Each structure stands twice: as structure tokens, then as C-alpha cells.
Amino acid sequence: MHELSITRSVVRAVAEATGARPVTVVRMRIGDLSGVVPDALRFAWDVAVLDTPLDGSVLEVKTVRVAVACRGCAATVDLPDPLPLRCPGCGSREVDMVRGREVEIVNADVREEVPA
């Protein structure tokens, strides 16, 4: 939900960091329990970048699987599915979610002018 407004925030944040330089790629990490849908982000991307230095850039999204730290067996494990929140090893529900809610911009590729 809100992928368009999130996309606009991303474009603004990247442009602030990269200045007027043309951007070719923006990479993001989206957790499986973040509530953000990568396809919806990609859909909104082409609209959100129009008339900005990011125009024409590609959005690459890496999804992050939900991972938990199990208080039962002390393992940190990726879950096979986002829910239920349960250690796949020992079955315990005494777990803390350590990955899976990310909505992060990782980096962006900018085109630099090569000095003549």
C-alpha cells in the first residue's frame, strides 16, 4: 500500500544524495513483512521518476525473507514462509523477528561526466 508515495520518497531521497547527476539504477531491499509490495513499487517507479534526474532509471528490488532469532535453540533462521512466526528448527514460538520489515534504499548508480 502507498507504493506511489513511497516511490516518491525514494526518488526525493536519492536525488538529494546524488544531486543533478543522472541516475541509472536504484537498488532497494523490501522485507516480506514490510507491507510494501515490490511489483507495485516497480509499477509506480516509471511515473515517479519523470522529470527528475532519475528519469529512465531502473528500480531493482531485492526481497528480504523473514528471519527469526529463536530463544529456544539460539539459532537465527530464515523462515520458509513469512508466517507463522515459529522456529523451523525446534518449532518454538519464542522468537524475535530480526529480518523482514525492511523498506530500504541500498544504493544508486549515477552517471558521472568523464573529464574531456
Partner 1 sequence: MTVTVDLRQAVLAKNDGLAAALRADLTAAGTAAVNLMSSPGAGKTALLEQLLTRAVARGVPVAALTGDLATENDAKRLARSGAPVRQITTDGNCHLEADMLRDHLDAWLPAGTRLLLVENVGNLVCPASYDLGESLRVVIASVTEGEDKPLKYPTAYRWADLVVVTKVDLAAAVEFDEPAFLNALRDVRPDLDPATGVLRTSARTGQGVDDLLDLLLAVHPTSRKD
Footprint on residues 86-115 left by partner 1 (CB under 8 A):
86, 93-97, 102-112, 114
The string of DSSP letters for 37-71 reads -HHHHHHHHHHHTTTSTTTT-EEEEEEE--EEEET
Tell me which stretch binds partner 1 (CB under 8 A): 43-51, 55-63, 82-90. 82-90
The label of the residue with cell 512466526 reads 85
Task: Assess 1 for contact with partner 1 (CB under 8 A).
Answer: yes
Angle between helices 3-18 and 38-48 (to 10 degrees): 60
Instruction: Kindly write out the interface string for residues 4-43 of this chain, putting x where it contacts partner 1 by CB under 8 A and - elsewhere.
Output: --x--xx--xx--xx-----x---x----xxxx-------
Task: Assess 82 for contact with partner 1 (CB under 8 A).
Answer: yes
3-state SS assignment for residue 19? coil
Task: Assess 61 for contact with partner 1 (CB under 8 A).
Answer: no
Q: Cα(74)–Cα(108) distance, rounded to whole angstroms?
A: 36
Q: Which three cell numbers stand for residue 38?
A: 515490490
Nearest distance from residue 43's CB to partner 1, in Å?
17
Q: Which residues bind partner 1 (CB under 8 A)?
A: 1-2, 6, 9-10, 13-14, 17-18, 24, 28, 33-36, 82-86, 93-97, 102-112, 114
